[in-house]
Amino acid sequence: MDTSVSSASGPAPSRRWSLYAGFYAVGCGAVTAGLLSTVLSVFAQVIGLPESFPVPLLAAPALLVGGAVWWLLVERRGAYTYRAGVAYGAVTALGTGLVWTAWFTLVWSVEMLAAGPTRLLVGFVLGAVTAAGTLIGVPITYLRRRSRARSAADATANSL
């Protein structure tokens, strides 16, 4: 687990990978929002997002959520396992969905959120994005594991 700041080469690998994970989460969130665009376009209109640009806006919170979750679940603990990667994906997707659910609640109130069809729609979207999120964690975990193995091999070769 490397949480120190490296001097000339930029941020420490853990911080750099947390940024990568945040940007990766935004990309995956945009793809997921695109696939669910029929349902999410209605949601975007209801909460006042511009109709011409809803998919990237809906994915935007994943940048902060994804980076923070990656750092908490993977980098901070030094847990470069696929289980941690799957948890990262699921928690990031769920966290991003909860950000928008909270925004919906601020715009429309808790009573509107508790209405029958709204609960069903929100539950469906949160379930779908969380399920999709479990899949997105595996590729970035694979890349992080490869990066760490390569760094260890380079360190060993340099010490010889």
Along the 160 residues of the chain, how does pLDDT read in single tens digits?
Answer: 544 444 455 568 889 999 999 999 999 988 878 887 887 788 788 888 877 777 888 889 999 999 999 999 999 998 899 999 999 999 999 999 899 889 889 988 888 888 888 888 888 888 988 998 999 999 999 999 998 877 766 666 676 6
List, in order, residues 6 or more apart from 91 with CB less than 8 Å away. Answer: 69, 73, 133
Residue with tokens 């120190």: 4
Contact indicator for 22, 70 with CB cutoff of 8 Å: yes
Q: How many residues does the chain have?
A: 160
Verdict on whether the full-model pTM lies above 0.85: no
- Identify the CA nearest to 75 among candidates 19, 8, 37, 118: 19
> What is the SS3 assignment for 94?
helix
- The token pair at 32 is 């997921």
